[in-house]
Structure 1
Amino acid sequence: MELNGEQLISAPIPDVWKGLNDIDVLAKSIPGCEEISRVSPEEIHAKVMFKIGPVRARFAGKLLLSDIVPDQSCSMAFEGSGGAAGFAKGKSRVELKQAEGGTLVSYTTEASIGGKLGQIGGRLISASAKKIADDFFQRFAKELGGETVALELDASSK
């Protein structure tokens, strides 16, 4: 599964970068987050309750950060297990760019899913993942004291 997107957050780059690296902000922003802890500057562990289609499960996982360029970008490798519900693992890249009205956050994610989750249709998983990402960015922007700003679509995509 691939998930790519962009969000415009009405906050300056340093604030967005700081928020993405603050586990208290992340705990309030990640939908279903029950627990989060920083093990090292590059490793974060979390427990999250997800509902994707008919499957509801508590996932325990870790996130490893790499290729960190402060206030600009980083890469992440993640893996999580939801017991009988299945597992997810993959990688993601996040980039921050100055934009009119705030910070443009671009992300690309590649993930593989197995177990019961792997048996759910790809469209349902993709739609659920997109909703989780959208919910995360709305909560994250609110934690920073701003909001997400709707991006204008160019004429070719209307």
Structure 2
Amino acid sequence: MEHSYIFKGISREVLWKTIQDKEVLQKSLPGCKVFDEVEENVFHAVLAINIGPIKGEFTADVQQVDMKEPEFYRLLVHVKGKPGDIEAIAEMNMVDTEKGAVLTCNADLEVTGLLASIGQRIMGGVAKVVIGQFFKDIEKETQKVAEF
């Protein structure tokens, strides 16, 4: 799964600073109830998701690795919920362009349980909605950071 988003008028340095802010992440993750840093660059989150056939509360453990500020990091993600589990490795690449910073998320997912039986097309659609909303909310936050 790959998704890119242009943060118009924002440098990748501002984007990096914004997406490393724990409060911003909690506000920007759809349905996020809890977002705690349990050790450096390791986070625990609780998300309530209600998009199409995907409903329920999910716990997520996320670790940032291979960080190269302000251009790249990888996320190691384990999500657990009644409908199933998701294991993901996502590469987050940021580049500056004339229009602004472009963030590209390239993720490999392994899905089990009911989530797997829903099908790749539906899961892909739900993932795009969640990621798209996340990027839009991050863009709002980058505007606030850029004003300082």
TM-score (norm 1): 0.85
> How many residues are treated as equivalent by the alignment?
143
> How far apart are the structure 1 equivalents of 2:68 and 2:51?
33
Please tell me whether residue 62 in structure 1 is matched to residue 61 in structure 2: yes
RMSD of aligned alpha carbons: 1.3
Give the gaps of 5 or more residues in structure 1.
147-158
Could you say what secondary structure the match of 1:100 adopts?
coil
> What are the residue-to-residue correspondences of 1:1-158 with 2, within 5 Å?
3-10=1-8, 11-82=10-81, 84-145=82-143
Deviating runs (4+, > 4 A) in structure 1? none
Tell me which amino acid in the other structure corresponds to 1:76: L
Structure 2 unaligned spans of 5+: none
Q: Deviations over 1:56-83 (max 9, x none)?
A: 111111111111001010011100111x
Give secondary structure in 2 for the equivalent of 1:71.
Answer: coil
Q: Does the CA-based 8 Å contact 1:52-1:125 persist in structure 2?
A: no
Map Cα deviations across residues 106-156 of structure 1 (whole Å, 9 max, x no partner): 11001111111111122111111011111110111011227xxxxxxxxxx
Equivalent position of 1:149 in the other structure: none
Q: TM-score, normalised by structure 2?
A: 0.91
Q: Using CA pairs below 8 Å that are at least 6 residues apart, which structure has the higher relative contact order?
A: 1
Contact 1:55 1:116 in 2 (8 A): no
CA distance in 2, matches of 1:51, 1:81: 15
* Distance in 2 separating the partners of 1:113 and 1:53: 17
User: How far off is 1:101 after superposition?
Assistant: 2.2
Q: Take 2:134 and 2:104, find their aligned partners in 1: how far apart are those partners?
A: 14
Percent sequence identity is 23
